[in-house]
């Protein structure tokens, strides 16, 4: 579904539920990270792009004071949030992403009107494509539109990140909310997570495409494992005497090897290498050096699998299939993307081979794992947008 079709759909759902057309329609995209994994909370670089999958909300001021009603049209479930007092965690579970953002605006002293909302999302849930960041940034965009007060997009991303920390309990970095708020059509975003400066890296050559392969597996461990990785990185930085692993390099790491556990050493090894790979991959992409960028993607995957230990058999299977197809079959590189433990892989491919590659990956993945993958191409999309406002 295109964004225009999705907007028409959610407007019709709003009309059905509330008996009038919506006054506002806003959307925010999910993302795929091309390279730079588990580097954002180490003050490093990431290179994500917004994808053509969105959380979308149609809304109007409500006649019921002090309440926001959100109807999820996909699962036919309605959440009611009391905004007459400071918003706290509540049910249903998905409403916490929305609650967290509303609480963030309340903390900034913003007076939020009572709202009727219909929402939908085409970002696969739990697929590692940041469905939660899309929902958070979409909510923030709705509040901005309904109050007529836009905030700085960087502040907006940070507000959404705080919602994820405090209302979803995930100590995530800044990448997902950032790209959902600041993505640009036709470009990847090279984000320096320390200075929060961004650089657009054009990715509009029609001869190459990014293929997203959803393994359709989600390993439930991910929450605790994520926090554990973050703590291991902090431990490594402390031993090395630096503020974060962004300030470390391999020359510093080697002599400190006997001062840290083998696991902490390997975590630091991954992060130091991955930060460098991300900067190099951005250079390769700018120069249309697809082979060079692809090699870095494979190297990233190997490091995430062996040293950072956040891959899983199904993600490894996709990358092995991609390697077997190789440059000859039109695949330059492939890697797991996002937090890991399931979710999606991303492959840099020749556009002319997309159909053959899709068939081959789907068939081989089914043979290897018994699972049906979901495979699609996305062009770099724009970040949060007001469609009607």
Nearer to ligand GLA, 37 or 144 (CB): 37
Measured between alpha carbons, how far is 283 from 296 in angstroms, rounded to an integer?
11
Encoded tokens for 297: 């993607």
Q: Which residues pair with 15 in a beta bridge?
A: none
Q: Is 306 a catalytic residue?
A: no
Which range binds ligand GLA by CB under 6 A, 7-15, 18-26, 33-41, 181-189? 33-41
Pick one of 14, 18, 24, 41: the residue that binds ligand GLA (CB under 6 A). 41
Beta-carbon neighbour count of residue 155 at 10 Å?
13
Structure tokens given for 307: 């040293």
Region of 288 on the Ramachandran plot (φ > 0 left; ψ -120 to 50 alpha; else beta): left
Tokens of 183: 């993505």
Looking at residues 163 to 222 of the shown chain, list those that interact with ligand GLA (rule: CB under 6 A): 172-173, 175-176
Residue 373 · residue 214 · CB < 8 Å: yes
Asked if residue 274 binds ligand GLA (CB under 6 A), the reply is no
Q: Is residue 171 a contact partner of residue 370, using CB atoms and an 8 Å limit?
A: no
E strand residue ranges, 203-304: 208-218
Place of tokens 């996305």: 378
341 binds ligand GLA per the rule CB under 6 A:
no
Which residue, 102 or 134, has its beta carbon nearer to ligand GLA? 134
**Closest CA relative to residue 293, chosen from 301, 282, 302:** 282
Q: How far is the CB of 31 from ligand GLA (least distance, A)?
A: 9
Please pick, from the candidates 38, 277, 295, 301, the single residue that binds ligand GLA as defined by CB under 6 A: 38
Residue 341's region, left for phi above 0, alpha for psi from -120 to 50, else beta, is: left
31 token code pair: 């993302």
Which stretch in 32-40, 73-81, 94-102, 252-260 sits in contact with ligand GLA by CB under 6 A?
32-40
Which residue bears the tokens 């409403």?
95
Q: For ligand GLA, which stretch binds (CB under 6 A), given 11-19, 36-44, 84-92, 370-378?
A: 36-44
Q: At its nearest, how many Å lie between ligand GLA and the CB of residue 161?
A: 8
Active-site hit among 72, 176, 280, 307: 176
26, 27, 37, 131: which one binds ligand GLA (CB under 6 A):
37
Catalytic annotation, residues: 176
Q: Which residues bind ligand GLA (CB under 6 A)?
A: 37-38, 40-41, 172-173, 175-176, 338-339
């Amino acid at each position: 579904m295109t964004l225009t079709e999705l907007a028409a759909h959610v407007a019709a759902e709003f009309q059905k539920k509330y008996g009038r057309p919506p006054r506002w329609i806003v959307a925010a995209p999910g993302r795929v990270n091309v390279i730079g994994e588990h580097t954002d909370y180490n003050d490093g670089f990431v290179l994500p792009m917004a994808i053509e999958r969105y959380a979308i909300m149609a809304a109007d001021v409500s006649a019921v004071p002090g309440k926001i009603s959100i109807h999820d049209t996909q699962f036919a479930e309605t959440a009611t949030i009391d905004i007459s007092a400071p918003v706290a965690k509540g049910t249903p579970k998905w409403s916490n992403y929305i609650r967290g953002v509303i609480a963030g605006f309340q903390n900034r002293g913003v007076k939020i009107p009572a709202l009727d909302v219909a929402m939908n999302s085409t970002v696969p849930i739990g697929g590692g494509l940041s469905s939660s960041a899309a929902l958070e940034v979409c909510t923030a965009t709705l509040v901005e539109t309904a109050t007529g007060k836009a905030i700085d997009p960087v502040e907006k991303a940070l507000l959404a990140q705080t919602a994820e920390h405090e209302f979803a309990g995930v100590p995530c970095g800044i990448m997902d909310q950032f790209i959902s708020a600041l993505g640009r059509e036709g470009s990847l975003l090279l984000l320096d997570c320390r200075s929060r400066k961004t650089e657009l890296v054009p990715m509009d050559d029609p001869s190459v495409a990014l293929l997203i392969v959803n393994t359709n597996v989600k390993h439930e461990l991910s929450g605790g494992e994520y926090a554990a990785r973050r703590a291991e990185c902090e431990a490594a930085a402390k031993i090395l005497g630096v503020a974060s692993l962004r300030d470390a390099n391999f020359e510093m790491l080697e002599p400190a090897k006997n001062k840290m556990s083998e696991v902490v050493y390997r975590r630091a090894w991954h992060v130091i290498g991955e930060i460098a790979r991300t900067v190099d991959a951005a250079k390769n992409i700018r120069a249309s050096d697809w082979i060079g960028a692809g090699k870095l993607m494979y190297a990233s995957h190997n490091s995430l699998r062996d040293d950072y230990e956040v891959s899983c058999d199904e993600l490894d299977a996709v990358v092995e299939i991609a390697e077997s197809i190789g440059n000859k079959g039109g695949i330059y590189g492939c890697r797991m993307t996002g937090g890991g433990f399931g979710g999606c892989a991303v492959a840099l491919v020749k556009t002319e081979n997309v159909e053959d590659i899709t068939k081959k990956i789907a068939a081989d993945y089914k043979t290897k794992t018994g699972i049906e993958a979901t495979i699609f191409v996305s062009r770099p999309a724009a970040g949060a947008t007001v469609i009607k406002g």
